[in-house]
């Protein structure tokens, strides 16, 4: 078999995603905070990109609409830049009404929170327990053991390691560890570093001075029975009336089964909406949220031809120029796409914006994509991690896309609307006679002609975090 080299000429077509296109796609799916971080990073890395000051805007600071990058010469760059539109004017092209009427007739709620709420640090469980240890008469070795114990707690304040494991990590005797653990469990919050819920509650009963033997026995041996509401056997075993057992339950409910939960280290995450939808007369106005977004412009000092440059400098500046212009064009396109998608959602879900969740109709990505003549993947990306403030609260854009359930008359209703109806039915039920899933399905069919199975009601109820009828039943 002979081996030989041959040359072939072949013509083929393939889809190639340029870095600029990848950047544009990436910007579509970024959340508002991620977008701000991305723009700030580009401002640091690109010398031709700068942030324009709104009250001192120069005419040469420009916004790119539908143009191509520079061809390579300074004169060509300058000529290209003069064709660009102002970034400040982009909202007027897509707003339902003029900016003057918006500023005159609409009161935009101020976004943010008080400075003391921003800067106040929340104490951690580790720091709180360490502070108490150093104020107590602990020896240096006991502090070391205590720090090992504190380092083995989970977010709820329970001890995840055994006494033997802690003794091995702290090079101490297990009896010494048990002594330190006993003292630590009586620190604030009481019951921290317990190994089981029963031990946690028993420590609190001891510290708070409850010495009732029935209460201690209920917590030590019958927590599972109390959780599953097996009250009658317990009342019979301890020779109690139901009213007396209710008093014990109310006392147990004052105890804290997760003493470390209030010292969680995670900070709350506040959602900043990407857009606001207001009712203005008979129409709805969409206002994109531009607060905190830097107004980008080009630094003309690098393109006026006054600086001497060699070919390498020119190539570098031209590359940065193309990058800056493409970023501004991508941001413009992102805001334009977001506005068009929101406008389509408001059109399809007008009943929701008028009356609330119960009027939410079925909607899929393809409906919006066909309405605005875009691909479904583009709509999916622009609705990811985006939030809109509506007259009925702040919702993620994905919330408006939901599946359909059939009606007896051949129509359809959105699944989110059915969830709202189920929640409303359960909220109005009698606690002593909760409504079963099958009864809820029958009510939806008889009153609203919604064809829904019992298992679907159970699925929706579980998704909303609502317990079954047996657990919702009030025994007392």
Backbone angles phi, psi at 79, to 5 degrees: -65, -40
Amino acid 13: pLDDT: 82
Question: Which of 83-92, 328-337, 460-469 has the weakest average pLDDT?
Answer: 83-92
pTM for this model (two decimals): 0.63
Mean pLDDT of the region 423-429 = 88
Kindly list the distances between the CA atom of residue 452 and the CA atoms of 271, 444, 465, in Å, as whole numbers in the listed order.
Answer: 34, 8, 19
The DSSP secondary structure of 93-130, one letter per residue, reads HH-SS-HHHHHHH--PPPP---HHHHHPPPPPHHHHHH
Arithmetic mean of pLDDT, 157-163: 92
Distance from C-alpha of 195 to C-alpha of 197, rounded to nearest angstrom = 7
- Positive or negative: CA dihedral 317, 322, 323, 325: positive
For the domain spanning 403-472, the CATH number is 1.10.10.60
Label residue 463 by pLDDT band (50, 70, 90). confident
CATH architecture type of domain 125-263 = Orthogonal Bundle (1.10)
Same fold flag, 125-263 and 403-472:
yes
Compare 438 and 19 and report the one with higher pLDDT. 438
| pLDDT at site 390 | 92
pLDDT for the residue 133: 92
Both structure tokens of 274: 């990407």
Give the number of residues written for the chain. Answer: 476
Per-domain boundaries in the chain: 20-106+272-372, 125-263, 403-472
Q: Which range among 13-27, 223-237, 374-388, 412-426 shows the weakest confidence by mean pLDDT? A: 13-27
Backbone phi and psi for residue 153, each to the nearest 5 degrees, phi listed first: -90, 150
Mean pLDDT of 304-322: 73
Q: Is the pLDDT of residue 272 over 90?
A: no
pLDDT digits (tens, 9 = 90+) for 139-149: 999 999 999 99
CA distance 86 to 64: 8
Report DSSP letters for 268-334, one per residue. Answer: PPPP--SEEEEEETTEEEEEE--TT---EEE-GGGTSS-S---HHHHHHHHHHHHHHHHHHHHHHHH
- Whole-angstrom Cα distance, residue 329 to residue 81? 12
Q: Can you tell me whether residue 433 is helix, strand or coil? A: strand
Average pLDDT for residues 400-417, to the nearest whole number? 78
Mean pLDDT confidence for 314-329: 84
Mean per-residue pLDDT over the chain, rounded? 81
């Amino acid at each position: 078999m002979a081996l030989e080299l041959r040359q072939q000429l072949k013509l083929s077509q393939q889809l190639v995603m340029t870095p600029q296109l990848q950047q544009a796609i990436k910007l579509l799916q970024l959340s508002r905070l991620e977008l701000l971080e991305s723009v700030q990073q580009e401002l640091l890395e690109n010398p031709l990109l700068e942030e324009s000051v709104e009250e001192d805007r120069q005419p040469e600071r420009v916004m790119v609409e539908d143009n191509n990058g520079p061809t390579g010469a300074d004169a060509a760059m300058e000529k290209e830049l003069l064709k660009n539109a102002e970034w400040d004017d982009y909202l007027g092209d897509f707003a339902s009404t003029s900016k003057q009427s918006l500023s005159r007739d609409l009161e935009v709620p101020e976004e943010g929170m008080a400075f003391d709420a921003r800067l106040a640090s929340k104490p951690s469980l580790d720091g709180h327990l360490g502070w108490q240890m150093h104020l107590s008469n602990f020896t240096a070795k006991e502090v070391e053991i205590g720090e090992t114990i504190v380092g083995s707690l989970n977010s709820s304040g329970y001890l995840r390691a055994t006494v033997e494991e802690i003794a091995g990590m702290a090079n101490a005797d297990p009896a010494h560890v048990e002594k330190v653990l006993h003292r630590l469990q009586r620190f604030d919050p009481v019951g921290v570093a317990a190994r089981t819920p029963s031990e946690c509650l028993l420590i609190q009963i001891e510290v708070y001075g409850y010495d009732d033997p029935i209460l201690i026995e209920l917590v030590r041996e019958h927590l599972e029975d109390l959780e599953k509401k097996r009250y009658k056997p317990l009342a019979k075993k301890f020779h109690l009336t139901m009213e007396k057992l209710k008093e014990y339950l109310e006392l147990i409910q004052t105890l804290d089964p997760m003493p470390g939960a209030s010292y969680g280290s995670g900070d709350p995450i506040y959602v900043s909406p990407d857009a606001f939808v207001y009712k203005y007369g008979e129409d709805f106005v969409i206002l994109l949220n531009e607060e905190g977004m830097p107004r980008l412009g080009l630094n003309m000092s690098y393109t006026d031809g006054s600086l001497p440059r060699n070919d390498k400098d020119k190539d570098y500046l031209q590359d940065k120029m193309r990058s800056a212009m493409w970023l501004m064009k991508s941001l413009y396109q992102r805001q334009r796409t977001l506005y068009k998608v929101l406008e389509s959602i408001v059109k399809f879900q007008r009943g929701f914006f008028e009356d609330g969740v119960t009027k939410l109709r079925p909607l899929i990505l393809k409906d919006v994509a066909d309405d605005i003549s875009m691909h479904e993947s583009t709509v999916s990306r622009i609705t990811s991690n985006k939030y809109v403030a509506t007259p009925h609260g702040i919702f993620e854009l994905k919330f408006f896309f939901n599946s359909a359930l059939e009606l007896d008359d051949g129509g359809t209703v959105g699944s989110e609307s059915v969830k709202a109806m189920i929640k409303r039915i359960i909220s109005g039920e009698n606690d002593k006679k909760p409504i079963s899933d099958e009864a809820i399905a029958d009510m939806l069919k008889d009153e609203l002609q919604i064809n829904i199975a019992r298992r679907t009601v159970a699925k929706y109820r579980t998704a909303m975090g609502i317990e079954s009828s047996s657990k919702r039943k009030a025994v007392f």
